Amino acid sequence: MHVDGSSSAQGSGAGIILASPSGIMVEQSLRFGFRASNNQAEYEALLAGMRLAAEMGVRKVICWTDSKIVVEQVNNNFQVKDANLLQYYHLFQKLKDDFAEVQIRHVLRSNNERADQLLARLASSRKLGQLRTTIHLEVPSPSVAVECMTIDTEALNWMTPIRNFILQEELPTDPVEARKLRTQAARYSIVASELYRRGFSTPLLKCFDNLQADYVMREVHEGICGSHSGGRTLAAKVLRAGYYWPTLKGDCAEFVKKCVQCQRHGNLIHASATELHSVSSPWPFALLGIDVLGPFPMTKGQVKFLLVAVDYFTKWIEAEPLACISANNVQKFIWKSLVTRFAIPYAIVSDNGLQFTDKKFNAFLENLGIRHRFTSVEHPQSNGQAEAANKVILTELKKRLGQLKGRGPKSYRKSSGLTDVRRNQRPGKHPFA
């Protein structure tokens, strides 16, 4: 028996020549109705030849093929590493048991010319409706079954009874539980086979199971837009994002307690509680507080300072990294990030740093009609809103960069728990001047 397989862009096929010692010869051409690699086509040709020989009542067969890989694999000289070819190998071993003797030998392509050209090439390149003298068979599917990974059925969760009631009106046998389920299911609806919950002041909230809920909390809390917020804030963010599950608030509180970064860099407040001091502002972006954070470890572009401005009314924060906190850079920041975006403010509150007391800078503010207010020396509470914004920024930087082990933001001076370093102070006015 001579067999050969062929695979090309036009299709794939196989050719078989079965010759008996008495001179009887049977030729068969196969065309595959599926995509097959070269090795797969060679295996299909071998298996088809084995089946043809079994139908003819052959007991001893010597098979010649020009595929070195197939010959060595079926003779147990090569290890079969491909999972698909391994199925063909096992199927060949089963067909081999139907014969008294089977020998698979390798032949050079030049010596397998008849099976190669006459059958395999013609079978793979045959056009529909073309007349052929060779018996042709169509093979619609591979000889080996394609194994599919079994998918587990949906696990039961808190959404299962609600979904079953909405879709199939299934109710528990207990009348109390059935009445409770009817009341509960009135708040839910099915949209595109997904369960959603209707709220009073929220849009439709997509319902999640425990596994999906854990992913959402982790992404909102510490993802690319996460801020390591507290439990109540995290729950509110999840609701605003459009997700819901019954134990949302409790799960968010427990998740924050287990966050290593939040526990490691959380505030340890030892002072007793006091009354809050309100900071009034007449309208949005009328009163702005501005301050400088740093120096931090130098990053790309030699950036090591952070210029922060916060609105007293809306608490909106604008920040820009700088390599040098000169008066010229502060002036550019106020013009580009504050004036051109939010209009001219009524007043700006800052400390007594050299970049803020510069004559050109104050002349710039005076020409715009902006009043410049200075805080008391060594009394940062005078610009408390800016200091609060600094604390928020530093806390988030520590939580996000704490794992860098010293390469993240460092605290050089602490005043009321806040980092506030100004490198351009007048000599004698600052301990680090």
Q: Which domains does the chain have, with CATH numbers?
A: 2-139 (3.30.420.10), 160-264 (1.10.340.70), 287-419 (3.30.420.10)
Q: What size, in residues, is the chain?
A: 433
3-state secondary structure (DSSP) of residue 247: coil
Q: Torsion-angle region of residue 163: left (phi > 0), alpha (psi -120 to 50) or beta?
A: alpha
Q: How far apart are the first and last CA of the chain?
A: 95
How far is it, in rounded angstroms, from Cα 174 to Cα 328? Answer: 76
**What single-letter amino acid sits at 417?**
G
Angle between helices 175-185 and 160-168 (to 10 degrees): 80
Phi, psi of 275 (to 5 degrees): -70, 145
pLDDT at 410: 42
The three-point CA angle 379-383-384 to 5° equals 95
How far is it, in rounded angstroms, from Cα 42 to Cα 199? Answer: 63
pLDDT at 213: 92
Residue 73: C-alpha distances to residues 14, 80, 89, 116, 234 (Å): 19, 6, 8, 21, 59
pLDDT at 230: 86
3-state secondary structure (DSSP) of residue 29: strand
Q: Torsion-angle region of residue 23: left (phi > 0), alpha (psi -120 to 50) or beta?
A: left
Beta strands in 234-367 (DSSP E): 243-244, 287-293, 305-311, 317-322, 347-350
What radius of gyration do the chain's Cα atoms show? 39
Q: What is the pTM of this model?
A: 0.47
Per-residue pLDDT tens listing for the chain (433 residues): 888 888 777 778 888 888 888 878 888 888 888 888 888 888 888 898 898 888 888 999 999 898 888 999 999 888 888 888 888 888 888 888 889 999 999 888 776 665 565 454 444 444 444 434 455 677 777 777 655 554 555 578 899 999 999 998 888 889 999 999 999 999 999 988 899 998 777 778 999 998 899 999 998 988 777 778 888 999 999 998 899 999 999 999 999 998 888 887 777 767 777 787 777 788 899 999 999 988 888 888 888 899 999 999 998 999 999 999 999 999 999 999 999 999 999 999 998 889 999 999 999 999 999 999 998 877 767 777 888 888 878 777 777 776 655 554 443 333 333 333 333 333 333 333 3
Phi, psi of 310 (to 5 degrees): -135, 140
CB atoms within 10 A of CB 34: 13
pLDDT at 4: 86
Cβ-proximal residues to 419 (8 Å cutoff; 6+ apart), any chain:
293, 390, 394, 409, 411, 412, 413
| Nearest residue to 158 via CA among 110, 106, 195 | 195
